[in-house]
Structure 1
Amino acid sequence: RQRWEANRWFLQADGESGKRHGNETIRVTPLGEVSIRLPAPLAELANAPHGRYVLTAKVRFAYRGQEWADRVHANRAVAYRIHYDVQRARWYITASWQCATTPTIPLKAALAEGAIGVDTNADHLAAWRLDVHGNPVGNPRRFPYDLSGTVGHRDAQVRRSLTRLLKWAKTCDVTAIAIEDLGFDGEKTREKHGRRKWFRHLISGMPTGKLRARITSMAQTAGVTIIAVDPAYTSQWGAQHWQKPLTSKNRKTTRHDAAAVAIGRRAQGHPIRRRTTPPPAHRSDEQGHRIAQAGPGTPSAREPAPVPPDPRTRSARTGYGAHAGDQCAQHRSGHAIEHVQLMLSP
């Protein structure tokens, strides 16, 4: 009898995208506070503004709690059902949502508007926007987070930094973010790094696993493509080839900013290392070789150079020039005599 009655003691409300925390009737904040919007006949029982009743107990979702927090933070639709369990004599709240199928986007289409390279660090994310040719645009951006304190505080800090990163990508009309495919799960031991305890403590504090899981789900909702690249030599080559050229009087480029440029260029398929400065004139020819990056459509240095005209006749040699394919073009005036050979049958 009690179970039969308990099956009718429930309150259910569908979610609404765009509403605060994804549901207007049953609202659950990221901190676990539950409030119910009362109907007009029960408005006098409200203990909060706008005709809402706030429950004294707070809730927590142990299963897939990170995905729920991402949707609530982005005001995505979440449906709730409050019901009573007779055997345990406790009230429970169930959250549910529908995951839309994400279409597969080709890499070339995702990089059509450039990319944003992101360098992951122990206390911040260093990001820089790159155009389609791999050149940095604007100034670098930093998204700090504090990983001290409780687990909930750390998760909130990571979520806040990733939300700011995705919003910045939307304002730049960029649909691709390149991050390092870091994984220190098997590289935290003393056998790997020796007695460098400070370095092992540093890589242990980097939230690489949480960042991968969190940014994947949040980027899917925002419509941004995540590109994981090989992290080999990105910090070293970025500092060697991009830190000094991108530093000016009004902008101080750090190693992390230069590493973000290297990560973005690797995702776009461009080389990270720049051409070295040509040697002095007394060690090589006066002209040297180019150090600037060539744009698309620029002739390659390996293409044959045009042959200068003959100084005696002031004309191009045979097989060269604008009429190289025309067999009638000769150095002298007039056209060549056409020789036709007839095959006579016996």
Structure 2
Amino acid sequence: MGGLREVAAPFVVPGPSGVSVRTRLKGLTGGDEKVLRLVGDHLGALASRDLRARCAAGPDHDSGQWAQRKRVLTEESSSRWAGSVTKATHDQWALARRGLLAYIHSLRAGIRTIAHRLSLPIGEKGSKRAPGGYRSRREWFAKSRRLHVLEDRLKAVQADWQAGVVRVVRGGKRLLNTRHHLEAAGLTHEQWHARWQAGRRFLQADGESGKRYGNETLRVAPDGQVSLKLPAPLAHLANAPHGRYVLAARVSFAHRGEQWADRVTANRAVAYRIHEDVQRGRWYLTASWTVPPVQTLPLAAARANGVVGVDTNADHLAAWRLDRHGNPLGEPLRFAYGLTGTADHRDAQVRHALIRLLHFAGRHGLAIAVEDLDFTADKTREKYGCRKKFRNLISGMPTSRLRARLVSMAAELGIRVIAVDPAYTSKWGARHWQKPLTSRTRKATRHDAAAVAIGRRALGHPIRRRTAPPPHDQSDRAGHRTVQARPGAPGREGHRPRIPGPRTRSVGAGRGANAVDQNAHHRPGRSAEHEPWQQDSLPLSL
């Protein structure tokens, strides 16, 4: 078993740090929509200009430059609008910077894999942990050329990283590229231009605690009235005092409405964002705020009543309930979801599967044990070579979406989530649990066995059902070694304790004192037979 990597300890996943809810702006007049577009286009132009200045500053940007950018924007908007724009710009630059670093890691992983496979003879088979050589001279030659391409890309990207250069598109790179393929996208130029303008508008404002209703720039009153502070060049469009514009629409939040009302009534910070869905012809308002960190429940308390182990797959969640001793209870569970269709449909499928899982865990008072999956390195096309279906399978697994949804939904229901190291759960689960869990009326799959392995790891038990037998004498010399003895139990690898009284019905009381020492018994091959005091056999002449 040499070469196995160290398995990290399980931990209770902390709850979400923020809340976001959305509602539709119904009843907007033509004048309201015109004002929203004018304000959004004006602030969007300022955001584009500020983003260019932030990218030019690079990693040497400091608080003084930030203050200078804010002063420039304040002259054409307001101090609060300028603060929201500069913060959003910095967040966008930081996101692009993290994406560039992830791309560097991906290129390095691909270069290492190709270089390793090129160094092997053609046709050599790989192992479970490393790929083998390429199948033909043609593939070897093509990959050698690709190696040079990746090395050139890596040099260019590393130069950008050192210089602090990032490439950001306000409105989205995908929408920008769609401009060159309008026929394939089924759009006219006017339709594309409307989406492009809507994507580049800026209508979001950060909240401020202590201000009226938690936001001075975009304000939503408890009765649902929405008003916004107009930038200085558009102040003539105001229909309310102090340069404000009040929309005709009234809003209400069906989800978390009571929490939102409590915050705005207490003048606690709430951030808002207004955006237009051009395809549907609708306007939406999104409210978000931070929540105080909740003290994480101790791991021992989270798994006191047992867990439900969950194995994440491309089209379903395989789950099995385990008691606190690690024993599977009941039947395996499966929560299916589909990842076809639109993004909203896929998201709804994931939420439906998770809510069914959460309802089951809530009925039985269980915590949920999941793998702390990270397929960043496994998504590279070089690791699995021509196994395109397997690469697509891994890339299609919604790990980050499931993680984010599960944590937020479980926090609402008061259910704890335990994350475990995913190392060897599928392999060891299939080896030690798939066959024992299979019966005439039930056929356990590898995913079901993996769910049991995940649950046992979350409970602190080894995945194996029983440890290896003692090396000699069955059990007497080395002592019993089973999973009933916890890892921290004193003397779990030592001799069995002496229990007064007979060990079997044929032995009298007090005869079990020498059960540990096998040399004290008169058995063939033991040293007791060759002691000097052993009596010789009687002569035949007597």
Measured against the shorter chain, the TM-score band is 0.5 to 0.7
Summarize deviations over 1:104-151 as a string: whole Å, max 9, x none.
211111111111110000110001111111111111110000101111
Indicate how the Cα distance of structure 1 residues 221 and 100 shifts in structure 2: closer, same or farther if over 3 A, else same: farther
Identical amino acids, percent of aligned pairs: 51
Structure with the bigger RCO (C-alpha within 8 Å, sep 6+) is 2
Indicate how the Cα distance of structure 1 residues 9 and 198 shifts in structure 2: closer, same or farther if over 3 A, else same: closer
Indicate how the Cα distance of structure 1 residues 216 and 259 shifts in structure 2: closer, same or farther if over 3 A, else same: same
1:291 & 1:249 partners in 2: Cα distance?
31
Aligned residue in 1 for 2:386: 195
Indicate how the Cα distance of structure 1 residues 4 and 132 shifts in structure 2: closer, same or farther if over 3 A, else same: same
2:319 & 2:379 partners in 1: Cα distance?
26
Indicate how the Cα distance of structure 1 residues 208 and 2 shifts in structure 2: closer, same or farther if over 3 A, else same: same
Trace 1:21-60 onto structure 2 (pairs within 5 A): 21=255
1:118 & 1:81 partners in 2: Cα distance?
36
Of residues 131, 134, 150 in structure 1, which corresponds to 2:326? 134
Of residues 375, 386, 398 in structure 2, which corresponds to 1:207? 398
Trace 1:90-109 onto structure 2 (pairs within 5 A): 92-96=283-287, 100-101=291-292, 102-109=294-301
1:260 paired with 2:451, answer yes
Moved more, 194-203 or 268-277: 268-277
- 5+ residue gaps, structure 2, are 1-235, 259-269, 514-542
Indicate how the Cα distance of structure 1 residues 2 and 206 shifts in structure 2: closer, same or farther if over 3 A, else same: same
Indicate how the Cα distance of structure 1 residues 302 and 145 shifts in structure 2: closer, same or farther if over 3 A, else same: same
2:415 & 2:462 partners in 1: Cα distance?
24
1:120 paired with 2:312, answer yes
Of residues 413, 418, 438 in structure 2, which corresponds to 1:247? 438
Q: Secondary structure at the match of 2:338?
A: coil
Indicate how the Cα distance of structure 1 residues 93 and 199 shifts in structure 2: closer, same or farther if over 3 A, else same: closer
Indicate how the Cα distance of structure 1 residues 245 and 80 shifts in structure 2: closer, same or farther if over 3 A, else same: same
The residue type equivalent to 2:433 in the other structure is W
1:11–1:81 Cα contact (<8 Å) kept: no
1:150 paired with 2:342, answer yes
1:302 paired with 2:540, answer no
Summarize deviations over 1:224-252 as a string: whole Å, max 9, x none.
12222111110111011011111122221
Indicate how the Cα distance of structure 1 residues 315 and 105 shifts in structure 2: closer, same or farther if over 3 A, else same: closer
The residue type equivalent to 2:402 in the other structure is L
1:116–1:127 Cα contact (<8 Å) kept: yes
1:82 & 1:239 partners in 2: Cα distance?
48
Aligned residue in 2 for 1:76: none
The residue type equivalent to 2:237 in the other structure is Q
Alpha-carbon deviation of 1:164?
0.7
- 5+ residue gaps, structure 1, are 25-78, 318-346
Alpha-carbon deviation of 1:163?
0.8
Indicate how the Cα distance of structure 1 residues 97 and 245 shifts in structure 2: closer, same or farther if over 3 A, else same: same
How many residues end up aligned between the 2 structures? 251
2:309–2:319 Cα contact (<8 Å) kept: yes
Aligned residue in 2 for 1:238: 429
TM-score (ref. length: structure 1): 0.61
Aligned residue in 2 for 1:9: 247
Indicate how the Cα distance of structure 1 residues 207 and 91 shifts in structure 2: closer, same or farther if over 3 A, else same: closer
1:146–1:154 Cα contact (<8 Å) kept: yes
Alpha-carbon deviation of 1:273?
1.5
2:420–2:457 Cα contact (<8 Å) kept: yes
Aligned residue in 1 for 2:461: 270
1:115–1:177 Cα contact (<8 Å) kept: yes
2:481–2:492 Cα contact (<8 Å) kept: no
Indicate how the Cα distance of structure 1 residues 306 and 136 shifts in structure 2: closer, same or farther if over 3 A, else same: same
Alpha-carbon deviation of 1:162?
0.6
Q: Secondary structure at the match of 2:461?
A: coil
Structure showing the higher strand proportion among its residues: 1
The residue type equivalent to 2:295 in the other structure is P
2:400 & 2:273 partners in 1: Cα distance?
32
1:171 & 1:274 partners in 2: Cα distance?
28
Aligned residue in 1 for 2:369: 178
Summarize deviations over 1:266-307 as a string: whole Å, max 9, x none.
11111001226869xxx9759999797537899957344427
Summarize deviations over 1:305-335 as a string: whole Å, max 9, x none.
4277899996998xxxxxxxxxxxxxxxxxx
2:377 & 2:245 partners in 1: Cα distance?
49
The residue type equivalent to 1:116 in the other structure is V
2:275–2:285 Cα contact (<8 Å) kept: no
Indicate how the Cα distance of structure 1 residues 160 and 99 shifts in structure 2: closer, same or farther if over 3 A, else same: farther
1:312 & 1:264 partners in 2: Cα distance?
45
Aligned residue in 2 for 1:65: none
Structure showing the higher helix proportion among its residues: 2
- C-alpha RMSD over aligned residues: 4.1
TM-score (ref. length: structure 2): 0.40
Aligned residue in 1 for 2:135: none
